[in-house]
Structure 1
């Protein structure tokens, strides 16, 4: 990536960040409903939500370090593993659906 200001790259990063925050909000919503008994979640969901954050942040730190060493976009590299986890959580929890009846 060029060391100069790149508006297109900044917009892409902002869009990825916005999508990640929306996905994270949806995941929090579904997990809270799961804790209240209104959403189908696995018994290990509470432990999973703690464990997955640790792994995602380790991957983000590793990606950021490698990007910095390679002269690439550090913020985009750090966001990628976190966004992958939020996206997969939305899909997984969304498929389980609410408890009806």
Structure 2
């Protein structure tokens, strides 16, 4: 495996972790009343988990069945999660 592929994977993971941390912080602050929260945000938070994980699992499975390298399989799994988390961060920061 190419060392640059690992570096790219690490950058993707770092971005996902940072966005996830921001979303969790914003949601906790909204639940505590520290910042205004949209109506139904708690339900949305729970309802979006299963579909996002199913998309990640499907993407990883497809990449694995295509014979991709482990870094590409992990990257494929993170892509739908990263899109969802990034969209949540942008929406919650408005």
TM-score (norm 2): 0.91
- Partner of 1:12 in structure 2? 8
CA distance in 2, matches of 1:52, 1:60: 12
Structure 2 unaligned segments of length 5 or more: list them.
none
- The answer to whether the 8 A contact 1:31-1:39 is kept is no
SS at match of 1:30: helix
- Partner of 1:49 in structure 2? 45
TM-score (norm 1): 0.85
Deviating beyond 4 angstroms after TM superposition, the runs of 4 or more aligned structure 1 residues are: none
**Which structure has more helix as a fraction of its residues?**
2
Q: Report the number of matched residues.
A: 91
The one of 16, 35, 40 aligned to 2:36? 40
- The answer to whether the 8 A contact 1:56-1:82 is kept is yes
- The structure with more radius of gyration: 1
Structure 1 position 22 matched with structure 2 position 18? yes
CA distance in 2, matches of 1:51, 1:10: 32
Structure 1 unaligned segments of length 5 or more: list them.
96-101
CA distance in 2, matches of 1:80, 1:32: 25
| Aligned-pair Cα RMSD in Å | 0.9
Structure 1 position 88 matched with structure 2 position 87? yes
